[in-house]
Amino acid sequence: MSPAETEQHQRFLRALTAHEPAVRAYVRRLVPSRADADDVMQEVAIVLWDKFGEFREGAEFRPWAFSIARFKVLSWLRDKGRDRLVLSEEVVDLMAEENALDETRLERQRRALEACTQKLEPDQRQLLMQAYQPQASIQNIATTSGRTVAGFYQWLHRIRRLLQDCVQRELAKEEPS
């Protein structure tokens, strides 16, 4: 493998790893079961890799991956056309359009939340991140922070409200006046 191919492979893996959960969630919303989504995702990953050479540098990977996923879902639906439990192409198109709108809104909210989280004091941000780790023990975090569990939940509630207000202000700045 040449250095250029290695670099392209690494760029693809970074992009796919970063966006795979969102693409999988997108596919999962359009097919009946998790197993079906797994099958479609395998095909999506193959096509993404095959077409990565056509991907424009600087373009957003996620919308491009959603577009490919949408076509793979439609192809899967055609293959499963005899199954009465499968949605029609029109319904999938409608759901895909709605998901694209939701994705845009969610991305704006994610960016705003990230900006607002960065405004917290470092110790507050660290405690917040600890509380949202998988399998986090609130009791341990509360004890480590010198709070009771009830006190920690109150603090967490205040931080969430603070972040919610901040996110709303950030989103309001983006809307045209």
Kindly give the residue spans of alpha helices, DSSP state H, lying in the chain.
3-30, 34-51, 61-79, 89-119, 122-131, 138-144, 149-174
Using an 8 Å Cβ cutoff, are 131 and 153 in contact? no
How far apart CA 77 and CA 72 sit, in angstroms, is 9
pLDDT greater at residue 174 or residue 166: 166
| 177 — pLDDT class (breaks 50, 70, 90) | low
Burial pattern 130-143, b for ≥16 Cβ within 10 A else e, equals ebeeeeeeeeebbe
Query: What per-residue confidence (pLDDT) applies to 82?
Result: 65
pTM above 0.85, yes or no: no
Query: What per-residue confidence (pLDDT) applies to 154?
Result: 94
Query: What per-residue confidence (pLDDT) applies to 176?
Result: 66
7-44 pLDDT, tens digit per residue, is 888 888 998 898 999 899 989 988 888 899 999 999 99
Query: What per-residue confidence (pLDDT) applies to 157?
Result: 95
Query: What per-residue confidence (pLDDT) applies to 24?
Result: 92
pLDDT greater at residue 149 or residue 56: 149
Say yes or no to pLDDT of 77 above 90.
no
Query: What per-residue confidence (pLDDT) applies to 83?
Result: 64
85-103 pLDDT, tens digit per residue, is 667 778 878 888 888 778 8
Query: What per-residue confidence (pLDDT) applies to 39?
Result: 92
Query: 108 in the Ramachandran plot: left (φ > 0), alpha (ψ -120 to 50) or beta?
Result: alpha
| 134 — pLDDT class (breaks 50, 70, 90) | confident
| Per-residue tokens: 121 | 């004091």
Say yes or no to pLDDT of 45 above 90.
yes
